[in-house]
Structure 1
Amino acid sequence: MIRFEDVSVTYAGAAGPSVRGVDLEVPEGELVLLVGPSGVGKSTVLGAVSGLVPHFTGGTLRGRVTVAGRDTRTHKPRELADVVGTVGQDPLSHFVTDTVEDELAYGMESLGLPPAVMRRRVEETLDLLSLAELRDRPIATLSGGQQQRVAIGSVLTPHPRVLVLDEPTSALDPGAAEEVLAVLQRLVHDLGTTVLMAEHRLERVVQYADRLALLPAPGAPLTVGTPAEIMAVSPVYPPVVDLGRLAGWSPLPLTVRDARRRAGTLRERLTAAPPQPAAPTAPLPPAPVRPAPSPSPLTRLLRGRGPATAPPSAEAAVVESLAVRRGRVEALRRVGLTTWPGETIALMGRNGAGKSTLLAALVGLVEPTAGSVRVGGAAPHRTAPRDLVRRVGLVPQEPRDLLYADTVAAECAAADEDAGAAAGTCRALVSELLPDIADDTHPRDLSEGQRLALALAVVLTARPPLLLLDEPTRGLDYAAKARLVTVLRALAAEGHAIVLATHDVELAAELADRVVILADGEVVADGPTAEVVVASPSFAPQVAKVLAPEPWLTVAQVRRALA
């Protein structure tokens, strides 16, 4: 169904090919997962299937890519639309209509399908992806995860023979991700749909793949094999595989069930290890600053700067009985939350639960309908922007929303001016977070992880005591996520309070002191990370599921205990 024959792609101005010598054949009815670190060319490979590479992106494609017998060099994307359905990393770039139901129907209208067929398929897709209650909603009012499901639904309704998916579960909560993956399984096994997918959250998808295609480095040859074969040699792997490597299991487990069956001896060894210290229960006192055994470069860069305001003993933010209404939707109800300097909180919950709205209220983007929000003693929606940036900073789901200039240097100069910081302050942060990025680089030419790092540097220039991040690991591989964890730990050690809205249960387990779970706009759980996530089947990390009832959350904790 999909065939790559010695394919290389070189973009204008690049020093060498983004991908080189790719040979791959994906037969009908197979799900192939494309894996590898960020920046190795996975999106380029996916784009070559739909014809977006090179017809839309430019560059030179050598070799041959055929889909259902059609050569993508001679067939433009619109001539492949009846065969290939594509969902990229940014769902907003796909939408051409205003409401959910219209968006699901648009692709079929373009293909001239009969109205009766369109109506039936729209209803089927609404049910498949649990979108029925959103059918009349304007797309602009949906959460990022809801928009992701709509984008996936819009390519399912025309019933393409090939699906190309780039990070399809990155913005989805664990439950919604399982629903989408179950739909893909049904399409593959019941309808013979061919799926080629790239996904960094391997813990969610690796067990569903028939084969894995590994791109280990830029320009390196593609390696294809079974999931177990590729995970044994891959530089990127999920926590359950990491745990298997640590324990010396062979073959490596790909699922929690496989790992639990082999973990009896490991659990016995860990029983003798000292338990993880329990965090205090609410109400929480000011969180202690975590000592670092040796200062990181970022810590050294920030040392002496610290948060711009708020004495060490004061709360970073206090939310009391907060309610927010957005049109007909009551986004938040009776929410209470207090954050302390040096504390990291993970906000979790289903898509549409109110996480992004709570962050928006903390940064003054929405006004409370009832209740109050105080950040550094001030109401953020009534605080002048120039003063507010010294109290709280938000890195949104789409970091590009913060980036307006044509170069990295111009972004940094604007950040210094807005924050009233000394010239070069932002650029020094960027140099630490993004080594080897030239001043004249355009932000749109950066990878997702690089854009996140640039946006984080822009926000940190003002040294806000409260730092908010919305889905910060979206589009990041495991190595990039580890670097982000290091950066955020350094900031917490310097006294910054950090609030993360995330669906990444592994990030919460690694980083958060507390977890707050929202459901339908209300707080349904608030407590120490270990207590909250272990008690939740949906939000427990893989290691906790494997080693339960022992209180271990991450491979790093297990490694330290065994040492």
Structure 2
Amino acid sequence: MIRFEDVSVTYDEAAAPTVAGIDLAVPEGELVLLVGPSGVGKSTLLGTVSGLVPHFTGGTLRGRVTVAGRDTRTHKPRELADVVGTVGQDPLSHFVTDTVEDELAYGMESLGLAPDVMRRRVEETLDLLGLADLRERPIATLSGGQQQRVAIGSVLTPHPEVLVLDEPTSALDPAAAEEVLAVLQRLVHDLGTTVLLAEHRLERVVQYADQVLLLPAPGASPLLGTPADIMAISPVYPPVVGLGRTAGWEPLPLTVRDARRRAGSLREHLRHRGGQAFRRAERVGTTPGAGHTSQRASRWPTWLSTRRAQRTPTEGTAAVTENLAVRRGRVEALHKVDLKVTPGETLALMGRNGAGKSTLLNTLVGVLEPTTGAVRISGRTPHRTTPRELIRHVGLVPQEPRDLLHADTVAAECASADHDAGAAPGTCRALVSELLPGIADEIHPRDLSEGQRLTLALAVVLTARPPLLLLDEPTRGLDYAAKARLVEHLQGLADAGHAIVLATHDVELAAELAHRVVILADGEVVADGPTADVVVSSPSFAPQVTKILAPQKWLTVAQVEAALVSDR
């Protein structure tokens, strides 16, 4: 169905190809998962299938890519639209209409399908993706995750033979992600659709893949194989694989179910270690899990013996809401929210798409005004405080990093951030290099991948080191290594007394980083407590290690590995 023949892509002024030596075939009716660290060219490779590379992006494509016999060098994206459906990392750039139902119908209209066929397929897709209640809603009023589902639905309605998806679950809550992946699996198994997708949250998708295509480094030759074979050698892997590596399981499990079947002796060993082992491992409960080496793990008990005490939230209040309600049009997005965040505390906001997480962050930063109730940030009312004054107390990294990026180069963006924050020249640039090495000064922010663009936006906000830091889906587009670097940096800020509130669907991030988890549902707080207590009692928001080792309260691979290392 898809054939790559010695394919390489080199962008203008680039010193080396972004991808090179791609020579393989993707059979009809298979789901192939594309994995690799950030910046290795996954989005570029996907773009060659849809024709966006090089017709839209520019650059030089060498070799040949054919889809259903059509050469993408000679067929532009619109000439492939009936056979290839594409959803990129940024759903907003995908939309051409104003409402959900119109967007689902637009692709079929362009292909000239009959009205009765269009109507039937719209209804089927609304049901498949749980969008029926949103059919008349303006797309601009939807949450990021809801927009992601609409973008996926809009390419499903024309019934393409090939689906190309870039981070399809990145903005979805765990339940919605499972629904989307179940739909993709049904399309593959029942209709013979060929699916090629890139995803960093491998814990969600690796079990659905027929094959995994690994891009190990920029310009390196790819490796194609079964999920188990590739996960055994991949530099990026989900926690379930990390736990399997730590425990020495062969073959490596890819699902929670398989791991639970193998984990009996490990659970028994950890149970016999009792409270002493858990307390020792708990000291590393907020350190990065998957992807770390055993050499570093051997240092964790000593390294973090005092760190837990350092990270205990201090007295005082960084933010407080009292009886907060926010109405957006006809929707009450928040209702009677009482919340207090203390200096040094990291709080994870979780909940379904549309639960009110982004609304709460925007209210804390003064973008939205409360309908009723009160909000105070360092003693100030955000929506009544001037931006120049407020920026000294609170910073927000939104879901769409482009909202913060206005310069023509990374270097100019960083210089502007240093100036606005009153920081020493080079502060922002050093943060970018720390969080995601390899981003060139002269590149335009729009030419960065979603994860790289997010990293730049994070660095811009972190340059000012605000006492209260708000992050909306901060790991979207980040691989495990980049996420680990981000976690370490945020831990350092919390140690220094900064309060951090992050809205996230990344349950692994919450397990690694958060002191406390607050779950929102329909704009109300339905759970609020220590991370272990909240996520262990919630199947939807429990990390993989917790599911595997329940009823014991282990959250991360790092905790387990530290406990095992202490036994040696």
Residue type of the partner of 2:52? Answer: L
1:472 pairs with 451, 464, 474, which one? 474
Q: Deviations over 1:4-34 (max 9, x none)?
A: 1111111111111111111121121111111
Per the normalisation by structure 1, the TM-score is 0.92
Amino acid at match of 2:83: V
The separation in 2 between residues aligned to 1:50 and 1:427, in whole angstroms, is 34
> Which amino acid in 2 is paired with 1:372?
A
Other-structure match for 1:286: none
Give secondary structure in 2 for the equivalent of 1:206: helix
Q: How much has 1:294 moved relative to structure 2?
A: 6.7
| Closer, same or farther: CA 179–74 of 1 in aligned 2, 3 Å | same
Deviations 1:434-493 (A, max 9, x none): 555454332223333332232222212332110000000000011111111111001100
Question: Post-superposition shift, 1:425?
Answer: 4.2
CA contact (8 A) 1:164 1:197 kept: yes
Would you say 1:266 and 2:257 are equivalent positions? no
Write the deviation string for residues 127-170 of structure 1: whole angstroms up to 9, x where unpaired.
00000000111100100000000000000000101100010001
Judge conservation of contact 1:95–1:151 (CA < 8 Å) in 2.
yes
Find the residue that maps to 1:272 and give its secondary structure: helix
Q: Tell me the distance in 2 between the aligned counterparts of 1:354 and 1:417.
A: 33
Shift of 1:433: 3.7
> How many Å separate the matches in 2 of 1:214 and 1:427?
30
More deviation in 266-275 or 374-383?
266-275
Distance in 1 between residues matched to 2:413 and 2:316, nearest whole Å: 32
Q: Deviations for 1:257-316, whole angstroms, at most 9, x for unmatched residues?
A: 1000010110111113325459xxxxxxxxxxxx99779xxx9xxxxxxxxxxx963200
Task: Tell me whether 1:410 sits opposite 2:412 in the alignment.
Answer: yes
- 1:539–1:434 distance in 2 versus 1, CA, 3 Å: closer
CA distance in structure 2 between the partners assigned to 1:292 and 1:229 by the alignment: 32
Deviations 1:174-202 (A, max 9, x none): 00000001101111111111111111111
In the alignment, what sits opposite 1:217?
A: 217
> Residues 436 and 225 of structure 1: is their aligned pair in 2 closer, same or farther, counting only changes over 3 Å?
closer
Matches within 5 A, 1:321-332: 321-332=323-334
CA distance in 1, matches of 2:497, 2:155: 46
2:456 is aligned to 454
Which AA in structure 1 matches 2:213?
A
State the match for 2:235 in structure 1: 235
Which letter does structure 2 place at the counterpart of 1:151? A
Q: Does 1:482 align with 2:484?
A: yes
**Cα pair 1:275 1:551 within 8 Å, conserved:** no
Cα RMSD of the aligned pairs, angstroms, is 1.9
Question: Structure 2 stretches of 5 or more lacking a match?
Answer: 281-299, 308-312
Other structure's SS at 1:517 match: strand
- Provide TM-score, normalisation by structure 2: 0.92
- Which residue number corresponds to residue 92 of structure 1? 92
Q: How many residues align?
A: 537
- Determine helix, strand or coil for the equivalent of 2:535: helix
CA distance, structure 2, for counterparts of residue 434 and residue 6 of structure 1: 29
Residue 120 (structure 2) aligns with: 120
Aligned in 2, Cα 1:312/1:552: closer, same or farther, shift over 3 Å?
A: closer
Partner in structure 1 of residue 179 of structure 2: 179
Q: Give % identity.
A: 82
Which blocks of at least 5 consecutive residues in structure 1 are unaligned?
A: 279-290, 300-310
CA distance change for structure 1 residues 141 and 380 in 2, over 3 Å: closer, same or farther?
same
- Equivalent position of 2:286 in the other structure: none
SS at match of 1:411: helix
CA distance in 1, matches of 2:477, 2:104: 25
Structure 1 residues 215 and 427, CA, compared in 2 at 3 Å: closer, same or farther?
closer
Change (3 A) 1:232 1:434: closer
- Residue among 333, 351, 354 paired with 2:353: 351
Q: Cα deviation per residue 1:497-538 (whole Å; 9 max; x = unaligned)? A: 000100000000000000000000000000000000010111
Q: In the alignment, which residue of structure 2 is the partner of 1:129?
A: 129
Contact 2:301-2:562 within 8 A present in 1 as well: no
Instruction: For 1:337, give the aligned amino acid.
Output: L
Tell me how far apart the structure 2 counterparts of residues 367 and 294 of structure 1 sit (CA, whole Å): 44
Aligned twin of 1:307: none
Corresponding residue for 1:318? Answer: 320
- Give 1:283's aligned residue: none
- One-letter amino acid of the counterpart of residue 223, structure 1: L
Task: Give 1:338 shift.
Answer: 0.5
d(CA) in 1 for partners of 2:207, 2:558 = 23
Aligned twin of 1:14: 14
**CA distance in 2 between partners of 1:536 and 1:312 (Å):** 28
| Corresponding position: 1:549 with 2:555 | no
DSSP 3-state at the match of 1:487:
helix
